[in-house]
Copies of this chain bind each other. A is one copy, B any other.
Amino acid sequence: MTTQAAKQASNVRFNGLDTPQLVQTVEAVKQDKSLAKFEFRARNQWIDGMVTRTSIQDFYGVGAEDKSRSKPFTLTSGEPPVLLGANEGAGAGEVLLHALASCVASTAVLHATARGIRIESIATELKGDVDLQGLLGLDPAVRPGYQKITVKMAIKADCSDTQLDELVQIVRGHSPMYDSISRPVPVLLERA
């Protein structure tokens, strides 16, 4: 990331971001790479049927345990009736799309800000194909997960279409959740 544009852009907020803090963060990480290491965490409890609840509060990052959250975020997952639930919450597959959508948008905003591009709006539409035969174990040739995800991203900003194309290319290369879904992540699932 070039911090030059961000330095020039403003010493206040740009795209809703504190640009001096963005510059400071980038400079601090350049000086001490260990500050870039984050560990995110979640605790989940099965409630009943297809309903579970996740608690999210603490994490490690920028060289310390974070203390900024006085209480946890509580997220409830459920499934619709055709998947044996009662719409108690968004389903796991839909939650993954939310993670991807929020990540590509905020990655775009972060890198736009670093380039001095002012974002007017970002709206994304996501679709993901799943074949239930994988989950149900009816056909070993069918993967349980998403077979394909499409993300249509409408961006309005004070720059050229070429620059917007470049910005989307940057998102493909730098969005943590785009990377986590499109490339394999080692997942170690074990009984506690």
| Residues of chain A having any CB pair with chain B under 8 Å | 1, 13, 15-18, 21-22, 25-26, 29-30, 33, 35-46, 48-52, 54, 56, 59, 61-62, 66, 68-69, 73, 75, 77, 79-84, 87, 89-111, 119, 121-139, 142-155, 164-165, 168, 170-192
A187 & B191 in contact (Cβ 8 Å cutoff): no
Beta-carbon contact of B128 and A39 below 8 Å: yes
A119 to chain B, nearest CB (A): 7
Question: Given A49-B15, A62-B82, A130-B176, A44–B189 Cβ distance below 8 Å?
Answer: no
Query: Is the beta-carbon distance between A40 and B91 smaller than 8 angstroms?
Result: yes
Query: A179 — which chain B residues lie within 8 A by C-beta?
Result: 134, 143-145
